[in-house]
Amino acid sequence: MMKELVEVKVNKSLGTIESNLDVVKASIESYIKDYETYAVSEDTLKDSKQLVADLRKQQKALDDERKQIKKDWNAPFTEWEKKAKDVIALYDKPILLINDQLLKFEEDRKSKKRVDIRIAYMELVSAIDMNNELEDYCPIEKIYDSKWENASVSMKSIKEEIQQKLEAVGMQIDTIRSMESEFEDKGLEEFKKTLNLQSAIQLMNQYKKQKEEILARQEAERKAKEERERLEAERAEKERIAAEQRAAEEKAEAERRAAEVKEEPFPDLPEMDEDPFIEPEAQEEIPFAMDGPFEEEQPFGEDKLYIRVECPASRSKELEEILNNMNLEWRYM
């Protein structure tokens, strides 16, 4: 059994200090009033300096007396205080010895309780988690509360709190899945990191918005491309129609000119009395003439009608143009 310590007892004999400070104070206040209108002049300069020196000397004497009285007054306390501090220091050794053991005991208790809390967590996870995923989303480290280690907190209340948190996490996971978002995996990943349902939903909405923006941009680009292609097709069609119109006009013009040639193939030729299709030897001066069908030479095939035309060399170019406009096959003989 430990011995009891002797209780500290102190007998104080407090003394009093007697002085005439009240009288001194009254005299100084009266003295000050006499000098409130004091003015230094050339005649009083020396006396004024001496007056200030005397006042400072009296002030210092009073302050020195104060310090000495304080020292004498505190001497018994200073001696007692030194002894008291030496005795107070003696308490440290037993306090440290016992307190170290108390700290170790408390740490051992907390360590055992941490094990009990983890066991309780695993039992609750097994009972609540039907999909075997709660431990991934909600490991004990994410919901652990250091106050559970206090001796005043019962294991029953700890289990109830763990169960509430696990069930809440499970319901929040179900909420994310019930949204049937195509970005569910992103939301669950965010929730696993933060256990923040609002943050997970915001992330899924962000991905949804980004996709909608991308699709809208792609749709706009598709429509713009279709519009460019439509305009290009319209331009090409207009060019094709214009080309066909030009070709038709050129053909019509050629046919018109050919028809004019057929009606009057040689408008500039002089009229002839003789038959143009008589033998060449019988004509002395004919601008040009034509011989009827001939059988000896068939340069273009047997199924063609052949006409031999003779004309002066000076008119040969004109005849070539006429024959070409009539789309007739010809050659020099």
Per-residue pLDDT tens digits of the chain, which is 333 residues long = 456 777 777 677 777 778 888 888 888 888 888 888 888 888 889 988 998 998 899 899 999 999 998 998 898 889 889 999 998 999 899 899 999 999 999 999 999 999 999 999 999 998 987 777 888 999 999 999 999 999 999 999 999 999 999 999 999 999 999 999 999 999 999 999 999 999 999 999 999 999 999 999 999 999 999 999 999 999 999 999 999 999 999 888 888 888 776 655 555 555 555 554 444 444 444 444 444 444 455 555 566 666 777 777 777 778 888 888 887 777 776
Query: Is there a domain that residue 291 lies in?
Result: yes
pLDDT of residue 315: 79
Give the helix/strand (H/E) hosting 163: helix 155-178
pLDDT of residue 293: 46
Q: Would you state the structure tokens that stand for residue 48, as one six-digit string?
A: 């004024």
pLDDT of residue 270: 53
pLDDT of residue 290: 42
Query: Is there a domain that residue 309 lies in?
Result: yes
137 CB-near residues (< 8 Å, 6+ apart) = 169, 173, 188, 191, 192, 195
Using alpha carbons, select from 309, 302, 220, 314 the residue that is nearest to residue 265: 309
Query: Is there a domain that residue 270 lies in?
Result: yes
Query: Is there a domain that residue 314 lies in?
Result: yes
User: What's the sign of the alpha-carbon dihedral 238, 239, 240, 244?
Assistant: positive
Range of the domain at 285: 264-325
Domains of the chain: total? 1
| DSSP result, 85-148 | HHHHHHTHHHHHHHHHHHHHHHHHHHHHHHHHHHHHHHHHHHHH-SSS-HHHHS-HHHH--GGG
* Helices 92-128 and 155-178, packing angle to 10 deg: 40
Query: Is there a domain that residue 275 lies in?
Result: yes
Query: Is there a domain that residue 45 lies in?
Result: no
Query: Is there a domain that residue 283 lies in?
Result: yes
Query: Is there a domain that residue 11 lies in?
Result: no
